[in-house]
Amino acid sequence: MHSLSRRLLLSVSAPLALFFGVMMVVLDTGFRALSERTLRELLDSQMVSLIAAAEPQPDGGYAPPPQVRDQRLSTPHSGLYAQIRSQQHQWGSPSTAGLSADFGPLLVPGERTITYAAFDHDRVAIESRAIQFADDPTGARALTFSVEREIHEVEEGRRENLGAGYPRELDGVATHLNALLIGERKRVARYRDTLGNLAHSLKTPLAVMRSSLPGEARGSTVSAEIDRMSGIIEHQLKRAAASGGALLGQAPVDVAQVAAELRGALLKVYGNKDLSLELAAAPGTQFVGDRGDLTELLGNILDNACKWCRSRVRLTAGSDESADPRERLSLVMEDDGPGISEADRARVLERGVRADQNVPGHGLGLAMVHDTVDLYGGRLSIDTSPLGGARVTVRLPGR
C-alpha cells in the first residue's frame, strides 16, 4: 500500500513541478514584458516632452528651458537623466552632474533604440532617438520656426495674416486661421457701424425734443432729463464700442502720435486759456490695443485736465517691460488745478458725477476712462500732482 502511494505521489509531483516551473517562467516573462512595455511608454513620453521643449541655443545646440522641463532633470542623481547632442554640440541635464554617464553612440536620423547601462552602480534604461531639424535636408525645423514666427508677427501687428506655401499638413490650419482673422475684423467693423447708427437714431429724437421746448422750459426738469438721457446714451454707446483688446494682426498704436493730435485739438478748444499742454512720451512707446480706445481715453483725461487746470497740463508716457503685460504702458496726466480731494476720488469715477457743477461738461470723462481701463485689465489711480492739482495714472497693455 505504501509503495503504491509513493509511486502515485511521485507520478503526480513530477507533472506538477513541471507545470509550476513552466508557469513561473511564463509569468516571469510576462511580467518582464509588461515592465519593459511600461518603461518604454514612460521613456517615450519623457522623450516627446524633451523634444517638444528643446529650443535653439546661442552656441547652435539645443536645450529645454529650466521652467518647462521635469524637475527631476534638475536634481542631481534623481534617477531621470537626459542628453541632447549632435556632432558639434552636447547638452546634459543637471541630474547627470557627478555621474559617469555613457548614453551610447550617435544614431542616424529615424533610428530609435532602448538599451541598458550602469550609471555609477545604478542600472538604467536608455532610450535614444535621432531626429533631423530644419538646417538638415528635410527643412522641418525651419518650417516649424517659420509658422511660429509668423503667428508671433500677427500677434504683434507686424503682419495681417499667415503667408502661403505651407505643406498639406499645415496649409489647412493656416487657411482657417486667416479666415478667422478676416472674419473677426469684419465682425468688429460691422458691430461699430451698428453702434454708430444706433447713436444717430437715438440722439436725433432727443435733439428734436430739446429744440421743441419753449424758451421758458429750457431750464425745466424736462430739459434736464433730456440732457441726462443724452449723457447716458453717449456713455453706454462709447462703453459698448470700446474694443477691450487688440485684434490679431492689428498694429500697436504710437502713443506720442495720438497725444500730439489731441494736443493740437485741445489747444484750439481752450484757446481762451493761457494753456501750457506738455507732452513727454518716451520714444517707441506703444499701446497694444485699439487706436480708437486710446484716443477716447487720452482725450477724456486731457480734456478733463484742461477744464480744471489754471494754466498747465502735463502728460507723461512710458513703458516698463518688467511689469505685468496688462500694465506695461504708463500714462500720467497732471494739472495745476484745485485737485480732487480723497473724499471725491471714488465719486468722480462714477458715471455723471462732477466735483464742481459749474465746470462745463457732462461728467462722464473719468468714468469712461475707468471703464476702458477695466476692459483692458489695466489700472487707474488718482492722487495729488507736484504741480498742485490732480494726477491721474493709467496702466494699460503696451511696450
128-157 tens-digit pLDDT: 666 665 444 444 444 444 555 666 566 556
Give the DSSP letter of residue 379: E
Q: How many CB atoms lie within 10 A of CB 232?
A: 14
pLDDT of 65 > 80? The answer is: no
Better pLDDT: 126 or 136: 126
Lowest mean pLDDT among 49-63, 105-119, 199-213, 366-380: 105-119
How far is CA 200 from each of CA 188, 194, 205, 207, 230, rounded to the nearest angstrom? 19, 10, 9, 10, 11
pLDDT of 176 > 70? The answer is: yes
262-319 tens-digit pLDDT: 888 888 888 888 888 899 988 888 888 888 888 888 988 898 888 888 889 999 999 8
For range 245-270, the mean pLDDT: 79
Q: What is the pLDDT of residue 359?
A: 41
Q: What is the pLDDT of residue 317?
A: 92
Angle (deg, nearest 10), helices 168-212 and 140-156: 10
Element (H, E) at 92: strand 90-92
Element (H, E) at 2: helix 2-53
Q: What is the pLDDT of residue 342?
A: 80
Enter the CATH code of domain 247-396: 3.30.565.10
pLDDT of 362 > 60? The answer is: no
Max Cα–Cα distance, the chain, nearest Å: 137
Better pLDDT: 110 or 260: 260
Q: What is the pLDDT of residue 378?
A: 87
CB–CB of 334/317 below 8 Å? no
Q: What is the pLDDT of residue 54?
A: 73
The pTM of this model reads 0.48
Under 8 Å CB-to-CB from 30, ≥6 apart: which residues?
none
